[in-house]
Chains A and B, each alone.
Chain A
């Protein structure tokens, strides 16, 4: 069985003392920042990225993955305790989790979230180990036309899943693609959209944009309405769920894991879609569906498992195709490039220790999460209670230091500030930053694959529909757009997001 020898190699890599330590630090720091109200996984990963700059590729990526899971889990903690989900993926958790907390069952909600996440994470690790290699094999056969269509599909999916106006999401993607083109054209050497500024010739760094939009932009909009927040001050007790509770969550956890594992692989999928889908499913399946919205433990366990499974399997397209399915994966790709690794189907064969090491560390990270987070819950609660007026200057410091340390350039700080203003304007106009970030990272790749596809086909645009794989992906993209444009369904979509 190749999968076991591969996993053995992975665990061999991940089980060195220093890598374990980096994984542990990643999980801890990720949770610590992730619990801070208003900071979702994307912002957390962006802010903490500089921590990994001085590391070697393997420990750097292990630590970043740890940060991601930690942030995800931290976000759920905040959603349960203060009803302030940091990112859309934990919005669902807040519904029933917060109600449980109000009934004095915060401990139970946190524990079932942790247990669900752990089960989901463990299963998803195997899913990745099982499906990544064959997918990478398939991907090696892909020509430029297939890659181009795949990117179109991924971008369309991210549009369909964005909350709010569809049109604005499309606009944000295209705008992101345009920002991605800024800099030196690799083919002709031409300077594009650089305004003669030498720093721009290397392009707009995605970290700068992410910190500007998710960091500064968020802070400004939070400062707009400064009202006090209520934190549950009651002591959290009864962490361990009873046997009865465990019985109630087994099925939701397993269903959530299955759902999340599948949806996470889809381009544009990942944590958010998975948790929404799982909540809807559990509400339908459960015998206690009337309890949903009033503190049903199934409504916490299911979506939490789903979003963790989805978060993890969304690594599959990133690791095998080099295509990000959500903004966090876009950051991961950026981090790999900083380390000098070009993500894509060849990573698995050229750097097996890195590839399998990351996968093994996912399981280890999940293990640390469940072992450490429940005992440390008191610490996390204290982190949540840091008042926002002390918090945001600190976040700003992290953003500024992070951006400056990219290349010791003050210009990057200026750029971050500009994107901060733009991010705030976008929030005001309900233009979602996530699709833009995806466009930004995909832009240069997309142009290159388009160029190559047209070159190989003698400039015949029909190549995209004549090759079966490419045609299928374009058809799926068209189908996805068609479905959301149908008036009856677009109403349902609004309802789903309103829920």
Chain B
């Protein structure tokens, strides 16, 4: 897309437009009401229209002004960090926080260029013990140290 001279403006505008139009479309299913008695669609429609407009302006501006290009996304790092968090969410009820923390640290650790199993396992176990002692035992947060899979 050579005619886009300011990619950051372009993509930001694209995102705003996507969210704005999405809000506008979805708000059509709700009751608009009147200005006197605003329905659930009233405010979202206003905001959606405004956001779409901002998006359009941003996209138009991206064609007119010069900007720096967006460098490559760190997709591998993103996948590991986000994947580790999701896995934590998946495991936490069944396995409990201790095991989930170890999994979270080890998988997200893979995103580092300095990853080595032994020291990261140390951090993982240390964190698991620390959180169990401080958050669960001392502060009394209702979290399962070991989850339902272990009969708790």
Contacts and interface: CB of A to CB of B under 8 A. Distances in A.
A168 B55 CA distance: 9
Given A181-B47, A417-B86, A429 B115 contact: no
Given A168-B12, A170-B54, A413-B85, A390 B78 contact: no
Contacts of B119: 390
A174 B47 contact: yes
A6 to B, nearest CB: 31
Contacts of B81: 216, 219-220, 223, 396, 420
A174 B50 contact: yes
23 contacts: A168-B9, A168-B58, A171-B54, A171-B55, A174-B54, A175-B19, A187-B38, A190-B31, A193-B26, A216-B81, A389-B109, A392-B108, A392-B112, A396-B81, A396-B105, A400-B101, A401-B143, A404-B92, A404-B143, A405-B135, A417-B82, A431-B15, A459-B36
Interface string A423-462: 0110011110000000000000011001100110011010
Most buried by B among A51, A174, A177: A174
A190 B43 CA distance: 13
Given A50-B135, A178-B19, A413-B92, A165 B104 contact: no
Given A396-B105, A428-B70, A50 B141 contact: yes
Interface string A354-395: 000000000000000000000000000000000111101110
A366 to B, nearest CB: 25
Interface string B102-134: 001100110111110001100110010001000
Interface residues of A, number: 66
B43 A447 contact: yes
B89 A51 contact: no
Contacts of B26: 192-193
Which label, helix, strand, loop or mixed, suits the secondary structure of the A interface? helix
A8 interface: no
Nearest to B135: A401
A405 B142 CA distance: 7
Q: 5 shortest A-B CB distances, which residue pairs?
A: A413-B89, A459-B36, A459-B35, A389-B112, A190-B40
Nearest to A452: B38
Interface of B: 8-9, 11-12, 15-16, 19-20, 23, 26-27, 30-31, 34-40, 42-44, 47-48, 50-51, 54-55, 57-58, 61, 70-71, 73-74, 77-78, 81-82, 84-86, 88-90, 92-93, 97, 100-101, 104-105, 108-109, 111-115, 119-120, 123-124, 127, 131, 135, 139-143
Contacts of A447: 38, 43
A308 B74 CA distance: 36
A226 B110 CA distance: 13
A51 B130 CA distance: 13
Interface in A22-80: 50-51, 53-54
B147 to A, nearest CB: 11
Given A54-B139, A192-B30, A171 B12 contact: yes
Contact of B86 (A174, A181, A190, A414): A414
A410 interface: yes
B114 to A, nearest CB: 4
Contacts of A388: 112
Contact of A220 (B20, B44, B74, B101): B74
Nearest to B34: A459
A175 B47 CA distance: 8
B127 A174 contact: no
Given A167-B58, A461-B35, A175 B82 contact: no
A290 interface: no
B94 to A, nearest CB: 10
A404 B35 CA distance: 40
B6 to A, nearest CB: 10
Given A393-B120, A400-B89, 10 more contacts: A171-B12, A174-B50, A175-B51, A220-B74, A220-B81, A387-B114, A404-B88, A412-B89, A428-B71, A458-B36
Contact of A397 (B38, B42, B74, B131): B131
Contacts of A412: 89
Contacts of A410: 89-90, 92-93
A417 B85 contact: yes
Contacts of A454: 35-36, 38
A421 interface: yes
A337 to B, nearest CB: 18
A396 B85 contact: yes
Most buried by A among B34, B35, B47: B47
Nearest to A422: B15
A413 B42 CA distance: 31
Interface in A192-221: 192-193, 216, 219-221
B77 A408 contact: no
Contacts of A389: 109, 112-115
A404 B89 contact: yes
Contacts of B54: 167, 170-171, 174
Nearest to A227: B113
Contact of B78 (A192, A193, A424, A429): A424
A188 B114 contact: no
A328 interface: no
B40 A192 contact: yes
B91 to A, nearest CB: 9
A99 to B, nearest CB: 28
Most buried by A among B34, B57, B93, B104: B104
Contacts of B108: 392-393, 396
A26 to B, nearest CB: 13
A11 to B, nearest CB: 26
A192 B12 contact: no
Contacts of A450: 38, 43
